[in-house]
Amino acid sequence: MAFDITKSREIINIMENYIASIRPEPKIRPKLDIGFDLTDQSVFLCEIRPKWNNPQEIQRHAYAKATFVQSRSVWKIFWLRANLKWYPYDPKPTVKNLNDFLKIVDEDAYGCFKG
């Protein structure tokens, strides 16, 4: 089930402000950029870059995921392992709000999100 309009706008606003603060400078963005995707109850942080063997094709690679659990009003945090499967972020598997998720991704204390 997708978010309602009000919740979607709030999430988009938070994510756009966050992305604006971490994006690389404009001259680098054609080769590497950062964005987000909002799908159903999940928010994905993505790396955006041209495909190595076909630069005209742009790829989005998600590296962090937060899924909202309505019944508990928490965000579950996931990271993408080398086997391309999402795993719970065990040091802190849930947070109360999206800003806390973004702080955890920025800190990346265990090198799970950005290596």
| pLDDT, tens only, 38-60 | 999 999 999 999 999 999 999 99
In a domain, 114, yes or no: no
The region that residue 46 occupies, defined by phi over 0 for left and psi between -120 and 50 for alpha, beta otherwise, is: beta
Mean pLDDT of the chain: 94
As for how many domains the chain has, the answer is 1
pLDDT attached to residue 7 = 86
d(CA 102, CA 84): 21
In a domain, 22, yes or no: yes
Range of the structural domain that residue 71 is part of: 5-107
Mean of pLDDT values over 74-96? 96
In a domain, 62, yes or no: yes
In a domain, 115, yes or no: no
In a domain, 98, yes or no: yes
Q: Cβ(48)–Cβ(59) under 8 Å? A: yes
The amino acid sitting at 24 is P
